[in-house]
Amino acid sequence: MKSTDFIKKPLFTVDSVLFTVQDNVLKVLMVKRAEAPYRGAWGLPGGFIDIDLDQNTDMTARRKLAAKTGSAPNYLEQLQVFSGLERDPRGFSVTLAYYALVAYQAVASHIETVEMACWIPVSELTELAIAFDHLQIIELARQRLQQKTLYSMIPVFCLPQQFTIGQLMAVIEAIIEKPIQRKSLMRRIEASEIFEVSNEKTTSGGRFAQLYSLKPDANIINFERNLSV
Amino acid sequence: MKSTDFIKKPLFTVDSVLFTVQDNVLKVLMVKRAEAPYRGAWGLPGGFIDIDLDQNTDMTARRKLAAKTGSAPNYLEQLQVFSGLERDPRGFSVTLAYYALVAYQAVASHIETVEMACWIPVSELTELAIAFDHLQIIELARQRLQQKTLYSMIPVFCLPQQFTIGQLMAVIEAIIEKPIQRKSLMRRIEASEIFEVSNEKTTSGGRFAQLYSLKPDANIINFERNLSV
DNA sequence: AAATATAGTGTCACTAGGACACTATGTCAA
DNA sequence: TTGACATAGTGTCCTAGTGACACTATATTT
């Protein structure tokens, strides 16, 4: 291995776009950068692989998320690699971006205790100083999440273990930013066969809503049709 | 930057699964490895980023593919990152895998002149010695290609510029390994609005087949339903 | 001219989602 | 107590895109 290899190796990092839905608004976990470059700007939670700690890049993403949220996300999937000379002032860089989902309730209290980690509505990101190309990464993650919401049930991962259909519907509508038919959602819940019912629950004035939860061994399936756009 | 950073940086490579369809069989471009590890085994075309040559990882994939095929693929997309301590005897490694499509005719003659590059039917891969976890990567790429074939027209990228509906149908059936309805395909060709007609052509005994080609500015769209599985 | 092969169309059935009226069951205020 | 209202959940018809498959069209071959 020549010494030039050292210089020419690109920086490799792992970043995650952690989504949740709170009050019918899609939000992203952002971290205020304490170091250069882009010191003081908001960036995605992430960092370098630690070969001693991480079996693979999934573990890196989980470790970095746990550091900020104190827990593991309900869903984690690779988004895309972003690379190039321009995206980091330190030189050629390669970032593996993940996107992830979590229930707001699961991390809300922990977030408050963490210095400079914050849920930011995706619609308000443009008002902030965002580090690197992270705004672009978030936008792609949002598109992927929207698309996947049209043909799968992944939005359940933005909810606590027990949830009502009304809550699931609200989360879906927050993600795709369009209303959907309650009836269509119920048909899919039945067809997917991955949910089970439990007790009852009441919310803001109205009939009791059935509580659902994911079956323990449930695999998220893909429907063969999209919901209408 | 500490000296330990040097040691602990993972190997980062870019590999591509280049598919084509020849004689109704889905094939992958494999390269016989001339160096350790896995010397003599078959592996995917790929290698390290060259920061001086590559603007980004897409360019790395294209450059490595051009070295083996003499041309650019018709389609190229990121598949997934594979990482871990176990997958490479040299240590912790990270590979960004792409998958790509090309017309057999476009590279057939060049392949023959290249030492140890070869189209291998995906069904015959298990009979060979495959380096690293490349077999697993190819399998995932195949699944992604199959899935995408159900809701898009990407299989056209396995064909030359001009092609008949019969050829497109054959390519699709080779990819998903199921027969499809000619009528369904024609409906999608019309609906997609990305194809245009040209002259005529005859093949093995039968009525002339209309030749189609992709419109110059065509964007591959996704249909809202899958073909039946 | 008939057999055969491939190209392309007409048409009906099926399926899953969209629309929307309707029923069910809770809260709250007069 | 009762009626207005809010949310939960159902019944039913409409629609669009695909599957199935018989049918027509046009070439080659014998």
- Which chain A residues touch B3 with a CB distance below 8 Å? none
pLDDT value, residue A6 = 45
**Nearest Cα to B64, choosing from B81, B85, B43?**
B43
- Rounded to the nearest angstrom, the minimum Cα separation between B182 and chain A is 20
Q: Does B85 touch chain A (CB under 8 A)?
A: yes
pLDDT value, residue B200 = 75
Cross-sheet strand order for the sheet of B163-164 = B163-164, B211-214, B195-197
pLDDT in tens, A88-127: 999 999 999 999 999 999 998 888 777 789 999 999 999 9
What mean pLDDT comes out for the span A64-69? 96
A226 CA vs C19 C1’ separation (Å): 17
B-interface mutation test, from A52, A224, A228, most B Cβ less than 10 A away: A224
Which parts of chain B sit beneath pLDDT 50?
Answer: 1-7
Whole-number Å distance between alpha carbons of A217 and A114: 33
- Which chain A residues touch B229 with a CB distance below 8 Å? 224
pLDDT in tens, B99-155: 999 999 999 888 877 778 999 999 999 999 999 999 999 999 999 999 999 999 999
Find the helix packing angle between A57-69 and A104-113, rounded to 10°: 70
- On strand C, nucleotides with any atom < 7 Å from a protein CB are 4-11, 16-21, 24-28
CA atoms within 13 A of residue B53's CA, in its CB half-sphere = 11
pLDDT value, residue B109 = 81
Name the DSSP class of B187.
Answer: H
Does residue A2 carry a pLDDT above 90? no
Q: Does B52 touch chain A (CB under 8 A)?
A: yes
Whole-number Å distance between alpha carbons of B152 and B139: 20
**Nearest Cα to B76, choosing from B47, B96, B93, B53?**
B96
What mean pLDDT comes out for the span A45-69? 97
Which nucleotide, over all strands, has the C1' atom closest to the CA of A208? C26
Q: Which residue type, as a one-letter code, is found at position B170? A: A
A143 CA vs C2 C1’ separation (Å): 59
pLDDT value, residue B1 = 42
Which of A74-78, A164-168, B88-92, B203-207 is predicted least confidently?
A: B203-207
- Rounded to the nearest angstrom, the minimum Cα separation between A191 and chain B is 16
What mean pLDDT comes out for the span A62-79? 97
- On strand D, nucleotides with any atom < 7 Å from a protein CB are 5-12, 17-22, 25-29
Residue from the list B94, B225, B229 with its beta carbon closest to the beta carbon of A12: B94
Does residue A4 carry a pLDDT above 50? no
Please indicate whether, in this complex, the C-beta atoms of A78 and B83 are within 8 angstroms of each other: no
pLDDT value, residue A37 = 93
Strand, coil or helix: what is A212?
strand
Residues A107, A70, A33: CA angle, nearest 5 degrees = 90
Whole-number Å distance between alpha carbons of B185 and B168: 9
- Considering any atom of strand C, list protein residues whose CB lies within 7 Å: A 180-184, 187-188, 191, 202, 205-208, 223-225, 227-228; B 164-166, 182-183, 186, 203-210
Chain pair A-B, CB pairs under 8 angstroms: 66
**Nearest Cα to B142, choosing from B177, B179, B107?**
B177
pLDDT in tens, A173-217: 999 999 999 999 999 999 999 999 987 777 777 889 999 999 999
A-interface mutation test, from B62, B83, B140, B228, most A Cβ less than 10 A away: B83
- CB burial string B75-113: b at 16+ within 10 A, e below: bbbbbbbbbbeebbeeebbbbbbbbbbbbbebbeeebee
Q: pTM to 2 decimals?
A: 0.94
**Nearest Cα to B21, choosing from B75, B96, B77, B98?**
B75
Residue recorded with tokens 């693979």: A56
- Which chain B residues touch A55 with a CB distance below 8 Å? 84-85
Strands B211-214, B163-164: pairing kind: antiparallel
- What residues have CB less than 8 Å from A74, skipping those under 6 apart? A100, A101, A102, A103, A106, A157, A158
Task: Please give the structure tokens belonging to residue B53.
Answer: 């040559």
Q: Does B104 touch chain A (CB under 8 A)?
A: no
